[in-house]
Amino acid sequence: MTAITTERPQAGKNRSMTLPAARRFLLWTGIVVLLAWVLVPIYFVALGAFGGRLGVFRWPKSIWPSNLAIEPMMQFLTIEGVFNALVNSLIAAGLTVLFSIALGAPAGYALARYTFRGQNAYRLLVLLTRAFPLAILALPLTVSFIRLGLYDTPFGVSLIHTVLALPFAALVTQSLFMGIPREYEEAAWVFGCTRLQAFMRVVLPLALPGLAATAIFAFVISWNEVFAASILTVRERTLTAYLLRILAESPLHYRFAGGFILIIPSVLFIFAVRRYLFAVWGIASK
């Protein structure tokens, strides 16, 4: 989540061209503060992660990296299970993205384009799934997952994460599709498209930026989720769940390394889809 804010200042950069000097100063101050807010903690985590045992405990802390070492990081990565957990996390998050868009986008499309009985109730119900405390469901879920053979698999975890991400996916895509005029689709129909073709050729390309944002949301939700991942797995833990367990008994610089590794995939993922995000915020020319 944090990394999204780091991208935002760039939005201000373009706009500032038209602002007078005083406002520009304020704007840049804001940008610097926001950047610092996000980046300074990440920086210190990184310092801790690469500084080794000594670096972590040195006081006063030096701002500049001294005697950087890759070893703590490598050691961390070679701890038994970390790499496996990282792969599990990526699988679970990837599947969550896939499922929540595959299920959420059609729901959002239906909510946006059709009026049907119980539409508002449905919209509310979708949100209500978030109101259900997962802790109450933990035991029955575990039991049924064991019965179904889903227990201790990234697939099973991704199912629960999809449930968590789905309300957002449905509601975000709904407003996304509402923003695409129906006339575009009608024009496509008139000019020879079936409903599916019209969706693929006209609606989908226009919706991509919003879908990218939805994907980020789903990815981050899954990546950061600990509780369900912890109770539904034993050996095939996701990285967050795994780290939560092992880091409690680890030296401090390992914890920093773990924290740093947790941040990286989200940042990379957001970096990969940033072009679409910018379009959502009206920067890229459509």
Interface positions with other proteins (CB under 8 A): 181, 183-184, 186-194, 197, 202, 205-206, 285-286
**Cβ proximity to other proteins, 45 vs 212, nearer residue:** 212
The nearest distance, CB 41 to other proteins, in angstroms, is: 39
The nearest distance, CB 188 to other proteins, in angstroms, is: 8
The nearest distance, CB 209 to other proteins, in angstroms, is: 11
**Cβ proximity to other proteins, 64 vs 191, nearer residue:** 191
What's the count of helices (H) and strands (E) in the chain, helices before strands?
15, 0
The nearest distance, CB 192 to other proteins, in angstroms, is: 3
For 151-175, give the DSSP string: TT-HHHHHHHHHHHHHHHHHHHHHH
Please tell me what DSSP assigns to residue 200: I
* Rounded (to 5) percent helix, strand, coil in the chain: 80, 0, 20
For 91-144, give the DSSP string: HHHHHHHHHHHHHHHHHHHHHHH---TTHHHHHHHHHHGGGS-HHHHHHHHHHH
**Cβ proximity to other proteins, 202 vs 246, nearer residue:** 202
The nearest distance, CB 202 to other proteins, in angstroms, is: 6
Taking phi over 0 as left and psi of -120 to 50 as alpha, with beta for the rest, 281 belongs to alpha
**Cβ proximity to other proteins, 4 vs 206, nearer residue:** 206
C-alpha distances in angstroms, 125 versus 121, 131, 275? 6, 10, 33
**Cβ proximity to other proteins, 144 vs 194, nearer residue:** 194
